[in-house]
A and B are shown apart, each in its own frame.
Chain A
Amino acid sequence: MIRFTRVTKEFPRTGVALREVSFHVARGEFVFLTGPSGAGKSTILKLCYLDERPSDGEVRVAGMSSVAIRGSDVPKLRRKLGVIFQDFRLLEDRTVEANIGFALEVTGAPPASIGPKVGRLLTQVGLASKATAFPAELSGGEQQRVAIARALANDPVLVIADEPTGNLDDRATRGVFQLLRDINASGTTVIMATHDLDLVKRAECRTLELNHGALVFDSAAAAASGPPGAGGAA
């Protein structure tokens, strides 16, 4: 699903953000991306949805390569992905259902199919009763659920979550994380950047750890090379 091959990313002003990073995420995996601020977590996620291109090396996501893809094909890639952010990125002047419907409308979904699909997504994230509310009327956890529903609108094969629980209290964090686990359980690959080490420990999922732009730990590799039972499940 995701393959990074010796990926280096350098920004003109801030310098090297990633240095020769290589890893592979298989279809159906749930992977945590951890590391201190500035380690390169968000850069890896941006490279996954091709908001950034690598300075060197190759990123392959959902069958598309950063080396070969044309600019006009990037929207095709993004329709296969769902992206979630810490700050939710909802449109404040639109209702919950309009926010979710927006993702369907702008990607050319038939108008008749939008209403029923939005209804199903709201039920899936547990917000069927909040369809006509505006984002400002919802709690942080609820707003993140709306963002998740929007990310799922185009039936993604991969969900990319950049600190989705960063602004949430424990209870909301557990709810949002469980929702992401449910999505993963239905076959969708999930890659999630987080600072929340307690959550990572409790979840026992594969973890990729970054530091200063380098991949310093991969629990799957550690489990393969170490004694049985060590590290997380791959």
Chain B
Amino acid sequence: MSLATREAFNGFKRSPVLSLLSITTIAFSLYAFGLFGLVALNIRSALAQVEDRVEIRAFVADGTSAEATSAAAGDIGAFPEVQSVTFVTSEQALVRARKELGEFSDVFEAGILPASLDVRLKPGFRDPNTVKAVAERLKSYDFTDDVRYGEEWVQKLYRIRNIATLAGLVLGFAFAGVAVIIIGSTIRMSVLARAREISIMRLVGATDGFIRSPFLIDGAVKGTFGGILALLLTWVSYSLITRFVITAQFFDVRLVVLGVLAGAVLGLVGSALSVSRHLRSV
């Protein structure tokens, strides 16, 4: 084991309480980050499911021939944004309305609802602008009586997602900042605790890089342990939520590894920022 690694672990042994406190604070910072990440992940996942249901309905004008409708459906189906086009007859529209809306349960007269072409868009083309653009193109067809796509609904959906993403980024960076500050403080204590050792290292000609390396390893190891602890806490919270509140989704393996790595990187960045500043005062 190299001297730098040994010194980093000696730091743990020399001040176990301080080290545990550092790891715990890092863990709680990352835990808050993890919890928010979990909420964001589940909001995004729910939004993706809702987004799947985004549909443009082009109502077919009375008297339009079946051939014309069929040709239009083929034409629309060739749009690059379009995933599928379904022709819904007046009768099918009534069946659907009776199933979905209570007030149609007593209506049995076919023809009260217009036939329509129900257009579904491919994933990645379900944003408000694309939906609106496709709807405008559908309006330009002679057979269309009206085009509905729940404009406000689509926009609200995206607004929620954008707010969730923005809040995630803002809070994520805030928590990351807190973690860096906490790690920086623990490294500062560590530098001060080892002031004599550092001054001797300098006297005998150790390079700055060599003097820094135990602190960087220390920060990265604490960050990694903090990341693992935060992961466990997040998993326990997720299990409790899934068991008692609502079935939720957990991070996949890639995100789990990324989370622990983020802990290590935060630890490294925190110690790097702190060690340069405080070594000058030793």
Please report A residues at the B interface, Cβ cutoff 8 Å. 49, 72, 75-79, 81, 83, 89, 91, 93, 102-103, 105-108, 150, 153-154
Tell me whether B210 is interfacial, beta carbon within 8 Å: yes
**In contact, A105 and B208 (Cβ under 8 angstroms):** no
Beyond known contacts A89-B196, A106-B206: 13 more, CB 8 A cutoff: A72-B208, A75-B205, A75-B208, A78-B202, A91-B196, A91-B197, A93-B14, A103-B200, A105-B3, A106-B3, A106-B204, A107-B204, A150-B204
| Size band of the interface chain B makes with A | 10 to 19
**In contact, B204 and A78 (Cβ under 8 angstroms):** yes
Q: Once bound together, how far apart are the Cα atoms of A83 and B201, in whole Å?
A: 12
A172 to chain B, nearest CB (A): 22
**In contact, B208 and A102 (Cβ under 8 angstroms):** no
Which residues of chain B are within 8 angstroms of A89 by Cβ–Cβ distance? 196, 199-200, 203
Tell me whether B281 is interfacial, beta carbon within 8 Å: no
Which residues of chain B are within 8 angstroms of A83 by Cβ–Cβ distance? 203
**In contact, A153 and B204 (Cβ under 8 angstroms):** yes
Across the interface, name the chain A residue whose C-beta is closest to B199.
A89
**In contact, A154 and B3 (Cβ under 8 angstroms):** no
Q: Once bound together, how far apart are the Cα atoms of A81 and B203, in whole Å?
A: 9
Across the interface, name the chain B residue whose C-beta is closest to A82.
B204
Tell me whether B207 is interfacial, beta carbon within 8 Å: yes
**In contact, A49 and B203 (Cβ under 8 angstroms):** yes
Which residues of chain A are within 8 angstroms of B201 by Cβ–Cβ distance? 106
Which residues of chain A are within 8 angstroms of B200 by Cβ–Cβ distance? 89, 91, 102-103, 150
Across the interface, name the chain A residue whose C-beta is closest to B200.
A89
Across the interface, name the chain B residue whose C-beta is closest to A99.
B200
B204's contact among A76, A93, A103, by CB below 8 Å, is which?
A103
Q: Once bound together, how far apart are the Cα atoms of A49 and B204, in whole Å?
A: 10
Which residues of chain B are within 8 angstroms of A79 by Cβ–Cβ distance? 204-205
B147-205 contacts to A, CB under 8 A, are 196-197, 199-205
Across the interface, name the chain A residue whose C-beta is closest to B203.
A83
Query: Quick one: given A89-B196, A91-B197, A106-B3, are A72 and B203 in contact (CB under 8 Å)?
Result: no
A218 to chain B, nearest CB (A): 27
Which residues of chain A are within 8 angstroms of B206 by Cβ–Cβ distance? 75, 106-107
Q: Once bound together, how far apart are the Cα atoms of A102 and B202, in whole Å?
A: 12
Which residues of chain A are within 8 angstroms of B196 by Cβ–Cβ distance? 89, 91
Which residues of chain B are within 8 angstroms of A153 by Cβ–Cβ distance? 204
Which residues of chain A are within 8 angstroms of B14 by Cβ–Cβ distance? 93
Which residues of chain B are within 8 angstroms of A106 by Cβ–Cβ distance? 3, 201, 204-206, 210
Would you list 15 pairs from A and B whose C-beta atoms are within 8 A, ordered by A residue?
Answer: A72-B208, A75-B205, A76-B205, A78-B205, A81-B205, A83-B203, A89-B199, A89-B203, A93-B14, A103-B204, A106-B3, A106-B201, A106-B204, A107-B206, A154-B205
Across the interface, name the chain B residue whose C-beta is closest to A81.
B205
Which residues of chain A are within 8 angstroms of B202 by Cβ–Cβ distance? 75, 78
Q: Once bound together, how far apart are the Cα atoms of A83 and B199, in whole Å?
A: 12
Q: Once bound together, how far apart are the Cα atoms of A79 and B202, in whole Å?
A: 10
Query: Quick one: given A89-B196, A91-B196, A91-B197, are A107 and B203 in contact (CB under 8 Å)?
Result: no
A109 to chain B, nearest CB (A): 10
Which residues of chain A are within 8 angstroms of B199 by Cβ–Cβ distance? 89
Most buried by A among B3, B200, B210: B200
A71 to chain B, nearest CB (A): 8
Across the interface, name the chain A residue whose C-beta is closest to B207.
A75
Q: Once bound together, how far apart are the Cα atoms of A192 and B206, in whole Å?
A: 23
Which residues of chain A are within 8 angstroms of B197 by Cβ–Cβ distance? 91
B31 to chain A, nearest CB (A): 34
Q: Once bound together, how far apart are the Cα atoms of A75 and B200, in whole Å?
A: 12
Q: Once bound together, how far apart are the Cα atoms of A106 and B207, in whole Å?
A: 8
Q: Once bound together, how far apart are the Cα atoms of A83 and B196, in whole Å?
A: 14
Q: Once bound together, how far apart are the Cα atoms of A77 and B199, in whole Å?
A: 15
